Amino acid sequence: MITKSHALKDSRHRYARLALAACIYYAGTEQALSADMPAVAPETSLPSINSVPEIVNPIPADNPIGAILLSKHHPLLLRADFSRVSELVSQIYLNTQFQPIWFTANRSEKNLNDLLSILNNASNDALNPANYDVDRLKQLISGPNPDNTAVSGYDVALTVSLVRYLHDLRQGQVDPRDVEYPVHIAPKPALDLAGLLKQHLASQTLTEVVGQFEPKTKQYQQLKQILTRLQQLGNQTGSQEFKPGKMLRPGDKHPHIVYLRQRLRDMGLLDNNAADSKTYDNDLVAAVKKVQQQQGLTADGVIGSATAALFNQSSSEKIAQIALAMERARWIPDTTDGPMIVVNIPAFELWAFNSIDDPNPLNMKVVVGKSQSNQTPVLWEEMKYLEFMPYWNIPKTIYEKEILPKAANNEGYLASQDIELVRHQNSEEKGGGSYLRARQRPGKKNPLGRVKFVFPNTADVYLHDTPGHAAFKRPRRDLSHGCVRVSAPEELAQFVLGDQAGWDKESIKQAMSAPKTRHVTLKRAVPVLFYYGTTFVDHQNQLRFYPDVYGQDEQLKKALNKIHSPTAASSTPNNQLVMSKSTDVSTNP
């Protein structure tokens, strides 16, 4: 998150000539660097990972570095427009009185080499080094010492590239709020990038800054470990593809079984000492079942076309899936130890952890919002209270579209469904006044069931029980109006109230069958994460893949392509990135 500075108003047109002069470079190789640079669209202004103090001192327009900062445009870089990170870069140079930090009189070769090493290793975190101009920077650093005219341009180019990388590493390349991605997660707390950079440059420990910006969540770290393993394996598809040409069942023999066996060894699912038989034996069957389960297929050990295709997926294809997952994981706040509830939307499952390393979390099936009309949003909030035997305040759209037509044809319909009209008083902040709204009384007909779990959020969604459990038997469960129905509400209530005095299994059961609504405030809030992970590492450190039920993988790919391929993105209308969502997701069970 960036605090906007009044002193940093865009002065591109006014200072473009001076900025260009500051970046002039004369070597033929340097001219070649920019000869094929594509025309680029301006970067979208995104909230950054860091807040910076408001800059009260104006940037000097007559200073070569200041002129570049005011223009927010750098011709040495592939993405010349750096307005997205301009205020962070400006704060760094404000601390040095707008003097160079890399190409100084006492130039540190170690700092320069560490910078190149950091950017070269961006692929370790599923980021592309080319997005940070690493090859261009190598030529600038290894070339002859720049003269006074060029040094400012060189220096700012290095700083912009490093800041871009650290921003993307911590906060993500895409801000989901900017492309109307259905995410309700606040940006991460600020880090003092300018102060950290000054400290590490002085002590020549620049590589250590990466660890301070890298996401700390367990999901991110697990994904990174798997990414490293896949990168080491390389692309495995080739002449020895596993294509049996027919369905294989346990006990069958086939010459391609040896290829299957090697794939499973490479995946770490089969002992290296296992026999090299051409028989589809019990060890292979057990390993194949595990892969089928991870991929959301029926885990029966029978190898049909869908299962066979899994073993011909290249490492590069898997790496691309993991890269999307790591981008999403960057949006998640760094977690602290303690209870936590996670709903993975495309998995249609909930896990409740007592701690980060809980080996036996509570797990249950859930029903999520319909695709595409009522998608359950991604969010991070704290559960504050429970309501046993809750009322359901019926959203206006549901009342008008689903209930009112039935009531018009049957004057006793509302009473038969325990629906009543009540007058609601608006607060003074909302202009006062009152209006009638419909609500359904607690009971067997209430779609919220016997308990709802509330974590106040702008999408106004929550977890709740349901009177109908048949939907939990379906393999695909995107059926609700946006809220998340849980299959084991009593167990979830026990988890949430586990350390709260006066609540045990019996008292919870009584509250869930009482004649009146009961509001219970939690003494300790419980973090709740609604996550969209089509590629997800579970609590047993197993990589699982789930169907992209909301089509959000494709949306994220488009957003990433727009950032890193701005010329291609210029022909892509913004509305192609907008998720189709109901405006009345709130309070819908």
* Nearest Cα to Cα of residue 247 among 299, 196, 304: 304
Rg for the chain, CA atoms, rounded: 28
Q: How far apart are CA 557 and CA 572, in angstroms?
A: 13
Instruction: State the SS3 of 524-562.
Output: EEEEEEEECCCEEECCCCCEEECCCCCCHHHHHHHHHHH
Specify the amino acid at residue 399.
Y
In DSSP notation, 53-102 reads ----SPPPTTSHHHHHHHHTB-TTSSS-B-GGGHHHHHHHHHTTTS--SS
Angle at 133 between CA 131 and CA 135, to 5 degrees: 125
Specify the amino acid at residue 577.
L
37: number of Cβ within 10 Å: 14
Q: How far apart are CA 285 and CA 264, in angstroms?
A: 11
Question: What are the angstrom distances between the C-alpha of 294 and each of 316, 367, 545, 546?
Answer: 18, 20, 6, 8
* Nearest Cα to Cα of residue 453 among 410, 486, 414: 486
Q: How far apart are CA 381 and CA 376, in angstroms?
A: 14
Structure tokens at 461: 């969604």
DSSP assignment letter at 279: B
Peptide bond into 372 cis (omega under 30): yes
- CB-based contact 80:74 (threshold 8 Å): yes
Question: What are the angstrom distances between the C-alpha of 25 and each of 13, 35, 149, 429?
Answer: 21, 13, 8, 59
DSSP assignment letter at 473: G
Q: Active-site residue numbers? A: 464, 483
Q: Domains of the chain, with CATH numbers?
A: 6-214 (no CATH), 333-391+444-589 (2.40.440.10), 393-441 (no CATH)
- CB-based contact 101:187 (threshold 8 Å): no
- This prediction has a pTM of 0.79
Specify the amino acid at residue 548.
D
- CB-based contact 484:530 (threshold 8 Å): yes
**Phi–psi pair at 196, nearest 5 degrees:** -65, -40
**Phi–psi pair at 513, nearest 5 degrees:** -130, 10
Structure tokens at 341: 């509830």
**Phi–psi pair at 98, nearest 5 degrees:** 60, 40
β-partners of residue 480 are 369
Structure tokens at 8: 């940093």
**Phi–psi pair at 145, nearest 5 degrees:** -55, 130
* Each residue's pLDDT expressed in tens, for the chain with a length of 589 residues: 333 333 333 444 444 444 444 444 333 334 433 333 334 444 444 444 455 555 455 799 999 999 999 999 999 999 999 999 999 999 999 999 999 999 998 899 999 999 999 999 999 999 999 999 999 999 999 888 888 779 999 999 999 999 999 999 999 999 888 777 788 888 888 899 999 999 999 999 999 999 999 999 999 999 999 999 888 877 554 447 788 889 999 999 999 998 898 888 877 778 766 667 899 999 999 999 988 876 767 889 999 988 988 888 777 888 999 999 999 999 999 887 889 999 999 999 999 999 988 989 999 999 999 987 899 999 999 999 999 999 998 888 888 888 888 888 888 888 888 888 888 888 777 777 887 888 889 999 999 999 999 999 999 999 999 999 999 998 889 999 999 999 999 999 999 999 899 999 999 999 999 999 999 999 999 999 999 999 999 888 888 888 899 999 998 999 998 887 654 333 333 322 222 333 334 455 7
β-partners of residue 341 are 352, 528
Order of strands, edge to edge, in the sheet holding 419-425?
392-393, 434-440, 419-425
